[in-house]
Amino acid sequence: MKRTTFRSGFSGKQKSARRFAAGFLVMSMALSASAKEGTPGASASAMPGSVVPRPKNTAKSKHWYEIGIASWYGTKFQGRTTAGGERFDMNRMTCAHRSLPLNTWLRVTNLKNHKTAYVRVNDRGPVADDRIVDLSYAAAQSLGLAGLGQVRLEPVNSNDPVLAQAMLAQLKAPVVALLSLER
């Protein structure tokens, strides 16, 4: 059987130029298809072979936390208006933080005795530069802080069922099941 070969009629330089152009076209189409609007660095004008940063997977993103010195405030500020517009009550589980949004829920852990409390940010502070949070008197008592202490702050989701159970335990309130009555 006789073998037949087909020739394109292009020289070696022309073939390599066509291959490069085809590769460039495929790469640019792939980049433009995978580029999301607003993603930095992912543009169709990227050169072949250049590194295009991919957005990080949000499921595996790093968890924010802060470790530092906590203090507490109480009778001197009792009844004064907080940055959130409410009256400060030293017997509620609240805190003051410099930069976290107001009404953020935090899990505060005393690193000395590993006690944990859940507090809500309702004020700005602390005034002292070496501290990261000012706790209310009740929050400091539940953590076992007599004055200053080393703590870890972690934000928690207010829809978290573990948070709800822990807050009920902090309040020492019985859990009441609500039943729907059909009539």
Q: What share of the chain is helix, strand, coil (3-state, %, to 5)?
A: 25, 20, 50
Note the pLDDT of residue 131.
Answer: 95
182: pLDDT strictly greater than 50: no
158: pLDDT strictly greater than 50: yes
Query: Over the stretch 10-40, which tens digit does the pLDDT of each residue have?
Result: 566 656 656 665 555 555 555 555 444 444 4
5: pLDDT strictly greater than 60: no
Query: Over the stretch 58-67, which tens digit does the pLDDT of each residue have?
Result: 455 568 899 9
Query: Over the stretch 103-149, which tens digit does the pLDDT of each residue have?
Result: 998 999 999 999 999 999 999 988 889 999 999 999 999 999 989 99
pTM: 0.58
Confidence of residue 50 (pLDDT cuts 50, 70, 90): very low
Query: Over the stretch 52-95, which tens digit does the pLDDT of each residue have?
Result: 444 444 455 568 899 999 999 988 999 999 999 999 999 999 99
Integer CA distances (angstroms), 84 to 16, 22, 122, 164, in order: 68, 61, 5, 22
Task: Identify the residue with better confidence: 94 or 46.
Answer: 94
Note the pLDDT of residue 127.
Answer: 85
Show the domains of the chain with their CATH numbers. Answer: 63-171 (2.40.40.10)
The Cα 166–Cα 36 span in angstroms is 40
Spatial CA neighbour of 64 closest among 155, 132, 151: 155
CA 120, 149, 131 angle in degrees (round to 5)?
Answer: 70
Note the pLDDT of residue 95.
Answer: 95
85: amino acid identity, one letter: G
